[in-house]
Amino acid sequence: MPPRLRPSHLPSAANVIPESFSSSPLLPFLLPLHHIYTILPSSSRHAQISPSSSRQFSTSKPSNARAARGRFEKTPGTRNGLIDWLKKVAPRLNVPSPRNNVPVYMTYHNNPLPVLQSAGDKKKKDSPLGFKKRTRKLDLNTVDWEKAAQNATMSPFPTNPSFKVHPCISTEFREQIYQRVKQGRSIRRVSAEVNCELERVAAVVRLKEIEKKWIEQNRPLATTMQTRVHAMMPISQWKSFPQHESITDLRIHPATNNQLFLAVPESMPFNRKDAGDALGILPADERMPHSELIGVERMRLQGISVEEMISREAQREKEEANTLMAKRQRMEARNNAGKVVETERFRFRLKPAVTGLAGHRYGVPAEDRKRGITKIPTRVV
């Protein structure tokens, strides 16, 4: 059967989208995959009958091509789609300096920035037809930034709602953490005070130390970049009782992923410690970061006075510092045991040993000297 040609007086059906979809936000999802579409201004909406359809087999563009195009039409080259998008959509997506730390992510297309009431009224007067006129550039002064901050979607990818952006800590927040640690408080204590993870507090102090050193050396800081980058993303500002993130996140132990059938007496309680014993791991009370908070809460439940709680906590911190110091000394003693020979790459700790008793003396041959094999270091001390 020969291919059926569409009558020439009808517009080309292949790429025509029903007009009812025209204002739908779902349009990109309704279109077939990888469909390149263009949205023409409303003036050409009524150009229903296309003269170009009478020249179906012509490869040259008609002279009045622009007027003849339908409202949505597949463009001949994908590059045209990009150029149209760059003109029409991209200026609205590119918001280099939003206010109030409102993140403008790709999901912005479905949830545009709210416009101030007065500005909205003005716009309505401009368009007598009642529909929103497409403005190419976003006027940042007309945006209701407070409302935008409330409505902000924290997922940068429209197709993945399970990835959410967590705010960063502000520069003032970092300074506060640094000052607290400089006052002689332990990392653990500061972490609990400012509700930041232990690792984060330690990292902030390390980074701040370098920053202070740079200031001393009169090395320039990229403060402009820092402020501009922070303006684009959600930030948790410093407060008297900051709630930045959860500090008691317990890592799921791989041993707990498998089912374990255990016969336990019905009359006996089976608590977290028993569960840890059964799985062969430490109980959650000890594995959890900031496990000392459980002790504090327990004291609170027992109705112990605040002074007593503070003194007990101080005692515990002192003991902890002592054990840590002892551990460090042990480690240092171990590292410096025997004769130490430092080379560029290795630090040899030579100990007297008796040879000739074991079977293999030199172990497995290493392949890292072979041609074309790169040995990437696994750690940098």
Partner 1 sequence: MARNRLYALKRPYPRQSWNKHNVYNIYRYRLPSTNNRTFFQQKFKAKQETRRFHGEYLTERKWNSMFRHTLRGVVRMNPAEMAANDGSSAVAGRGSGLDINPIFKRGMKRTDAHEPPIPFAQMTFAPLERRLDTAVYRALFASSVRQARMMCLHGKVSVNGVKMPHAGYMLNPGDMFSIDPVLVMKAIGTAGSRVYTKLSEKAKEDLQIAIEEAQSKKKSSTYLKRDDKKVLAGNTKAEIEGGVIASASSAETPDENAKEGESETAPTEGDSKVLKLPHDWRTYLPKYPRWKLYDTWEPKRFMNLFAFIPRYLEVNHNICHAVYLRHPVARSGSAEVPNPFNHETMMLAYNWYLRRR
Per CB under 8 A, contacts with partner 1 among 127-146 are 137, 140-141
66 binds partner 1 (CB under 8 A): no
State the minimum distance, in angstroms, from the CB of residue 46 to partner 1.
27
Strand 339-342 and strand 235-236: pairing?
unpaired
Q: Which residue has the tokens 């170009």?
A: 52
State the minimum distance, in angstroms, from the CB of residue 296 to partner 1.
7
269 binds partner 1 (CB under 8 A): yes
State the minimum distance, in angstroms, from the CB of residue 48 to partner 1.
26
199 binds partner 1 (CB under 8 A): yes
Question: Which positions from 201 through 260 interact with partner 1, judged by CB under 8 A?
Answer: 202-204, 206-208, 210-211, 214, 220-226, 228-230, 232-234, 245-246, 248-252, 254, 257
197 binds partner 1 (CB under 8 A): yes
Q: Which amino acid is at 286?
A: E
Per the DSSP assignment, residues forming a β-bridge with 341 are 348
182 binds partner 1 (CB under 8 A): no
State the minimum distance, in angstroms, from the CB of residue 7 to partner 1.
31
Residue 27 and residue 224: Cα distance in Å, rounded?
A: 39
218 Ramachandran zone, left/alpha/beta (phi>0; psi -120 to 50) = left
Q: 59 or 159: whose CB is closer to partner 1?
A: 159
The tally of CA atoms less than 13 A away on the side-chain side of residue 332 is 6
State the minimum distance, in angstroms, from the CB of residue 247 to partner 1.
10
Q: What are phi and psi of 143, to 5 degrees?
A: -85, 140
Question: Which positions from 26 through 65 interact with partner 1, judged by CB under 8 A?
Answer: 28-29, 33-34, 36
Residue of the chain from 70, 73, 74, 104 that contacts partner 1 (CB under 8 A): 104
263 binds partner 1 (CB under 8 A): no
Contacts of 315 (CB under 8 A, 6+ apart): none
Q: What angle do CA 322, 323, 327 make, to 5 degrees?
A: 120
State the minimum distance, in angstroms, from the CB of residue 212 to partner 1.
10
Using an 8 Å Cβ cutoff, are 191 and 177 in contact?
Answer: no
Residue 16, classified by CB atoms within 10 Å of its CB into exposed (0-12), middle (13-18) or buried (19+), is middle
Residue of the chain from 11, 81, 112, 114 that contacts partner 1 (CB under 8 A): 81
Residue of the chain from 88, 158, 189, 317 that contacts partner 1 (CB under 8 A): 158
